Amino acid sequence: MNMTDRNLLPAYAIDMGTPCDSKGHNNFGWACISQGRKQSGDDIDQLAIALDRDLGSGSVALGIEAPIVLPLRSEPKTLTKARPGESNRPWSAGAGASVAVITMPITHYLLSKRGNCRRVVFSRKEATCPGDLFVWEAFVTGPAKGDSDIVDANKALSGYLDHTATLLPDQGSIINTIAAVALRLNLESDLAAPVEIWKV
């Protein structure tokens, strides 16, 4: 896939976190490039409106900066070990495990607010019709981390579109949490579908 292919779709990225915690803090950020314009913010409802608008007129790419691919393994000692490419920051530790869980109700909220999403797919080639949402996992870590969730969402989006992010190896047998959300909403999806993970 070349850069032109990636820029054919409106593209979004979310730095996943709590939209409003018990102290009123917002730990959520998003960025998008749509209709030739770049936008970003921390308001989840503005994101839901923009995402649904674009899904109403075509297919959309969405990167989620959170573990959405959970490995399924046969050895007890490896069940929660790091995924290929994670090095010393496994999906199951601390912040990774927390954000993996909250991603599911937040994604459910985003996709249930309006009705233009018809199908959630994990291959760009399958996103061919209006209402098709192509989802990939963003992984912003180490020196690439910025000083805000909006900054990290922009970094995830730019890394994907500009080909500066690195595609991590295939994860093998997995459960796909965004597919689980889609199926809960009666949308077409695949729990075992492999997901592209782009590391910035």
Average pLDDT along the chain: 91
Does the pTM exceed 0.75?
A: yes
Q: Which has more pLDDT, 130 or 3? A: 130
| DSSP reduced 3-state for 76 | helix
Q: Are strands 29-34 and 11-15 parallel, antiparallel or unpaired?
A: antiparallel
Q: Does the pLDDT of residue 41 top 60, yes or no?
A: yes
Q: How many other C-beta atoms lie within 10 A of the C-beta of residue 153? A: 30
Domain count, the chain: 1
Look at 4-18, 32-46, 152-166 and tell me which has the smallest mean pLDDT: 4-18
Question: What's the whole-number mean pLDDT along residues 134-151?
Answer: 91
Predicted confidence (pLDDT) per residue in 60-85, tens digit: 999 999 999 999 999 999 999 999 98
CA angle 198, 101, 84 (to 5 degrees): 35
Q: What is the pLDDT of residue 145?
A: 86
Which of 86-100, 147-161, 172-186 is predicted least confidently? 86-100
Q: Quote the percentage of the chain above a pLDDT of 70.
A: 94
Question: For position 1, what pLDDT does the model report?
Answer: 36
Rounded to whole angstroms, the Cα distance separating 150 from 155 reads 9
> Which residue type is seen at 79?
L
pLDDT > 90 fraction of the chain, expressed in percent and rounded: 78
Say whether pLDDT at 141 is over 50: yes
pLDDT at 154: 96
Range of the domain at 162: 3-199
Confidence of residue 22 (pLDDT cuts 50, 70, 90): low
Residues 9 and 130: beta-carbon distance below 8 Å: no
Q: pLDDT confidence of 3, banded at 50, 70, 90?
A: very low
Q: What share of the chain is helix, strand, coil (3-state, %, to 5)?
A: 35, 20, 45
Q: What's the confidence (pLDDT) of residue 20?
A: 77
